Amino acid sequence: MNERITYPFAAISGQERMKLALILNIINPSISGVLIRGEKGTAKSTAVRGLAELLPVLDVIHGCPFQLAPDERGEVCAACGRQECRDRLARSEAAEVIQRRTAVVELPVGATEDRVVGTLDLEYALQHGVKRFEAGLLAAAHRGILYVDEVNLLDDHVVDVLLDSAAMSVNTIEREGISYSHPARFTLVGTMNPEEGELRPQLLDRFGLCVTVEGAREASQRVEIIERRALFEQNPEAFANQWKSESQRIAETITRAIALHPSVTVERELLFDIANCCIQVGVDGHRGDIVMLKTAKTLAAYHGRQQVQSEDIQEAAAFALPHRVRRQPMQDIASNVEQLRTAANGAGR
């Protein structure tokens, strides 16, 4: 059976800000995810699945519910719900390693907290004195992408859990005095239609970046979208091959940026630019400043530079601050720095 071919990320027409925000979070997951706000049918899920296809293959322990890399094997495995894993660890046997593509784990709207974080078998722990953990969606998303459609319709507590894990790269579950943790490093992508209700400001602030998307307004661009989709559905393999070189270019850019990012530096003077920008637009707290710095450094790496420049700061502001600016009731989220300043002035600053 042939593997299903995904619509190429490179072939998505327009939506450049959304695509860049996704790439930045892949390069630097510590940005803590992106919230994509916009109407239906604007290639949000298509972009996420297409981007995953461009990422390097991963070494994964065969059958591991936590998607662990070979060098992550250890304490987590001791409490794994799979007897086979625990037996192999007790015999100090090497784990079988396979390669697979980066996973995209989709969170259903009605997901419960237990489904997301996993569950501890308390009866087994009390009887045998050993923790046994049944993995949830956060374990499945480790080293991958967690895609949450209609995040604004999820229970606030579940959203809090997702954001905590995205920020700390660890999922911790506690039940009746028993605690268990496992790695949960993933790129969080949340989408929402503002017409169906907004997230509370406290939750908005926890998303690293925010972009607003809308459908194309020009007939020529809409026709281009129609034609590309029709060609893809007619012959997915031929269409993917048509975009192969551009897809490879994007993949290589991401790989280089991941390698370059740790060495990117920023002059202290530019830190004052970040702080002043956040003060001017009326951002509460300091998370906006920190995310701006992370985003600016990631942008520099994406552009192949080892030092942050002023334009990186300005571009980072448009990604990191729109959802953090104090707004009047019913006022929409801004999409650029000038709108941010206008929003701040309208809020009474």
Q: Considering 17, 143, 287, 327, which one is annotated as catalytic?
A: 287
Q: What are the CB-based long-range contacts (under 8 Å, 24+) for 52-55? A: 52/6, 52/101, 52/102, 52/103, 52/104, 52/144, 52/145, 53/6, 53/8, 53/9, 53/101, 53/247, 54/9, 54/247, 54/250, 54/251, 54/254, 55/26, 55/101, 55/102, 55/251, 55/254
**DSSP-derived 3-state class of residue 245:** helix
**Which of 202, 208, 108, 200 lies closest to 152, judged by CA?**
200
Q: Is 305 a catalytic residue?
A: no
CA angle 15, 20, 25 (to 5 degrees): 135
Cα dist. 191→48, 116, 199, 232, 260 in Å?
A: 11, 17, 11, 24, 29
Q: Do 206 and 163 meet the contact criterion of CB atoms below 8 Å apart?
A: yes
**DSSP-derived 3-state class of residue 185:** coil
Q: Do 103 and 145 meet the contact criterion of CB atoms below 8 Å apart?
A: yes
Half-sphere exposure of 183 (CA within 13 A, CB side): 18
Q: State whether the Cα torsion 264-270-275-279 is positive or negative.
A: negative
Catalytic center residues: 287
